[in-house]
Amino acid sequence: MQAQAVSASSETARPDTNKHSGKDLPLDTRFELGDHITTEQQEFLDEHGFLVFAKVASQEEIDRLAKELDDIEARWFAEGRTEIYGIPLFRGKPDGKPFLQRFPFTSCFSDYIRDFVRDDRFAPVRSLVGKNTRVGDEEKDGVVVNRNLNVPGSVYQRLGWHTDGLRDLFYLRMPKQQLNVGIHFDRVKKADGGLRLIPGSHTQGFWSMCSRKVYFVSHAPDPEEVAVETEPGDLTVHDGRLWHRVEGSPHTGPRSLRRSMYVPYLTDEYQPKGEHSRTPLYHYLGIALREVKQALQTRGVL
Ligand SMILES: O=C(O)CCC(=O)C(=O)O
Ligand SMILES: [Fe+2]
């Protein structure tokens, strides 16, 4: 079965009325971010585990964020960095030129990004996470930017099925709600790949969360998945307990570029990382896989 598309063409700018329950709104509803979260929006999130807010950032802001990334990339290359605060950089080599594909902790390296993620417009989104949220600039992986690209030499075209609660599952505890707030830089329609998620899977039980898919290995479309379509500047919120994946772009070259920025708004115990933080074990597996992939690509096997 084909994934439904959460489409840009559906209604936007829904007024704050509560004539019907947010649960009944179409899965492709694009909400408008106002100065508070409406009842409908909260009900939609509770039911389905995600929300899409249309055009929360302007094109100028997206362009500026993209430029900040280029500057950070140049700086990290000049310094010969392979990891930041223990988190490895995903470094592809499209056309033989180094290209970073996952940037952790960006707000520690750009004042613009640091200020941007603290802008007042995000206050209602932060209120979804909790009462006194902080920006986790140097916690977890910080403000992360992904650059998916489909060209030979890319190390990050797509991402397999997962929930973001793997660490908790490892310790045999049920992950708590963790809301991921993403800013999307590019126009990505269902046919362009992009974020896929299984609505409602955030309320699944422990074993389903462990075993419904093979973490990161399984890429096959699910009959219940929806495709989250985005326009530049859209903001998405998804519950980390949802099953989700990133479908690779069928295009190649620049047309396949997909950039997403995730902001950790946190309420739990402050756990900062720094220059001397150790690399989490599971990242070594990722490093090895990316190296094998690149070696195979270089030899023309992939
Ligand atoms: O790129 C995205 O939109 C999602 C990435 C993701 O799910 C993750 O990094 O855990
Ligand atoms: Fe994820």
Q: Is residue 176 part of a domain?
A: yes
CB 190 within 8 A of CB 9: no
Question: Which mutation among 6, 103, 146 tests ligand 1's pocket best, with the greatest number of atoms within 8 A of CB?
Answer: 146
Q: How far apart are CA 104 and CA 107, in angstroms?
A: 9
CB 239 within 8 A of CB 57: no
Domain housing 205: 44-297
What distance in angstroms lies between residue 38's CA and the mean position of ligand 1's atoms? 26
Count of domains forming the chain: 1
Query: What pLDDT, in 10s, does the model give residues 95-105?
Result: 889 999 999 99
CB 99 within 8 A of CB 91: yes
Question: Which mutation among 195, 228, 230, 236 tests ligand 1's pocket best, with the greatest number of atoms within 8 A of CB?
Answer: 195
pLDDT class of 168 with cuts at 50, 70, 90: confident
Q: Is residue 138 part of a domain?
A: yes
Question: Which mutation among 90, 180, 192 tests ligand 1's pocket best, with the greatest number of atoms within 8 A of CB?
Answer: 180
CB 236 within 8 A of CB 53: yes
Q: Which residue ranges have their beta carbon within 6 Å of ligand 1?
A: 146, 159, 164, 182, 195, 244, 246, 260
Q: Is residue 39 part of a domain?
A: no
Q: Whose CA is nearest to atom 7 of ligand 1?
A: 245
Q: Is residue 51 part of a domain?
A: yes
Q: Whose CA is nearest to atom 5 of ligand 1?
A: 246
pLDDT at 15: 54
The mean-pLDDT minimum among 112-116, 152-156, 288-292 falls in 288-292
Mean pLDDT of 153-174: 88
Q: Is residue 1 part of a domain?
A: no
Question: Which CATH number belongs to the domain containing residue 243 in this structure?
Answer: 2.60.120.620
Q: Is residue 258 part of a domain?
A: yes
Residues with CB under 5 A from ligand 2 (ion): 164
Is 55 a residue whose pLDDT tops 60?
Answer: yes
Positive or negative: CA dihedral 51, 54, 58, 62: positive
Closest CA to 266 of 174, 160, 181: 181
Assigned token pair, 289: 């896989």
What distance in angstroms lies between residue 142's CA and the mean position of ligand 1's atoms? 13
Q: Is residue 302 part of a domain?
A: no
Q: Is residue 25 part of a domain?
A: no
Q: How far apart are CA 161 and CA 211, in angstroms?
A: 11
Query: What pLDDT, in 10s, does the model give residues 188-247?
Result: 999 999 999 999 999 999 999 999 999 988 999 999 999 999 999 999 999 999 999 999
What distance in angstroms lies between residue 216's CA and the mean position of ligand 2's atoms? 10
